[in-house]
Amino acid sequence: DTGVSQNPRHKITKRGQNVTFRCDPISEHNRLYWYRQTLGQGPEFLTYFQNEAQLEKSRLLSDRFSAERPKGSFSTLEIQRTEQGDSAMYLCASSLGPSTNEKLFFGSGTQLSVL
């Protein structure tokens, strides 16, 4: 399968713990996006990378959140001191850009539950 891969699919953690998610994009894609989706809502943009550079961050990305893409390939999203409000689906997408015809390819997400 050459699509976007996200691990783990599900994560249950206790409030106050740190969690880390991984995203492996489509191999030739240079852009990588993180989104968050809560139940019944559409996905919300968090941040994106072009190669290893983080070029945009949403105000939703509090200082407890950090994302990296050290070699311009896979990316990690870490949440420190998790809160119950962090419970959501975290989606990763990749694309080939820059292009005015840019299409995002999404993974199946990591479902986070904070108890």
Partner 1 sequence: DAKTTQPPSMDCAEGRAANLPCNHSTISGNEYVYWYRQIHSQGPQYIIHGLKNNETNEMASLIITEDRKSSTLILPHATLRDTAVYYCIVRLPTLAGNMLTFGGGTRLMVKP
Interacting residues toward partner 1 by CB under 8 A: 4, 31, 33, 41-45, 48, 50, 55-56, 58, 91-93, 95, 97-109
What is the closest distance, in whole angstroms, from the C-beta atom of residue 31 to partner 1 in the complex?
7
Rounded to whole angstroms, the Cα distance separating 98 from 41 reads 28
What is the closest distance, in whole angstroms, from the C-beta atom of residue 103 to partner 1 in the complex?
5
Residue 55 or 115: the one with the smaller Cβ distance to partner 1 is 55
What is the closest distance, in whole angstroms, from the C-beta atom of residue 82 to partner 1 in the complex?
22
| Pair 34, 96: CB distance under 8 Å | no
Cβ atoms within 10 Å, residue 52: 14
Which of left, alpha, beta for 92 (phi over 0: left; psi -120 to 50: alpha)?
beta
Residue 37 or 73: the one with the smaller Cβ distance to partner 1 is 37
Residue 10 or 81: the one with the smaller Cβ distance to partner 1 is 10
Cβ atoms within 10 Å, residue 97: 15
